[in-house]
Amino acid sequence: MEQFPPATQPDEGAGGAHEVTVTCTCDGATARIEVVGELTDAARRPLVRELTDLMLSGTPLKRVELDLCQVSFLNSAGIAALVQLLKMVQPRGIDLALAVKSVAVTRPLQLSGLWHRFTVIDRREDTPQHTHEPLPPGREHS
């Protein structure tokens, strides 16, 4: 299992200085990127950098699991970063799965309608353990 050093980005938003840490491990054709902290605009650059480094490493990736279980806050800039990551992997045939555990992440994804665009591994304690598969392109949720 290959491990990459964590990328840390300070977030100097309205709430003061917050840090986001992005770490990456790779095991064969599956990579795991873990995000700790707030998923805001400050997280976009380290996330894109980690994913780009993975795709340029020469490892044939089939799946990237983005572990958001330790994310305490997700805003529209964080959602935009997730969409950017999805647009990076889709043309290459790589599945991007989001592992979620808190309502701070699941609720914004559900309200924005993006819950149905990602493969979601739902690890919340109050729900059965399951994986939600994304809708095929061009299909809308009824």
Length of the chain: 142
Residues 12-42: pLDDT tens digits?
A: 444 445 689 999 999 989 999 999 999 999 9
Mean pLDDT of 45-68: 94
Among 10-19, 48-57, 112-121, 125-134, which is the least confidently predicted range? Answer: 10-19
- pLDDT at position 141 over 50: no
Q: Tell me if 138 is assigned to some domain.
A: no
Mean pLDDT of 91-100: 95
Q: Tell me if 142 is assigned to some domain.
A: no
- Work out the pLDDT band at 128, boundaries 50, 70, 90: low
- Work out the pLDDT band at 125, boundaries 50, 70, 90: confident
Distance CA 15, CA 17 (A): 7
Contact 34, 70 (CB under 8 A): yes
6: domain CATH number is 3.30.750.24
Mean pLDDT of 63-84: 96
Domain span including residue 11: 2-132
Percentage of the chain lying above the pLDDT 70 cut:
75
Residues 99-117: pLDDT tens digits?
A: 999 999 999 999 998 888 9
Q: Tell me if 77 is assigned to some domain.
A: yes
Distance CA 42, CA 125 (A): 28
Q: Tell me if 34 is assigned to some domain.
A: yes
Q: How many domains does the chain have?
A: 1
Q: Tell me if 140 is assigned to some domain.
A: no
Q: Tell me if 72 is assigned to some domain.
A: yes
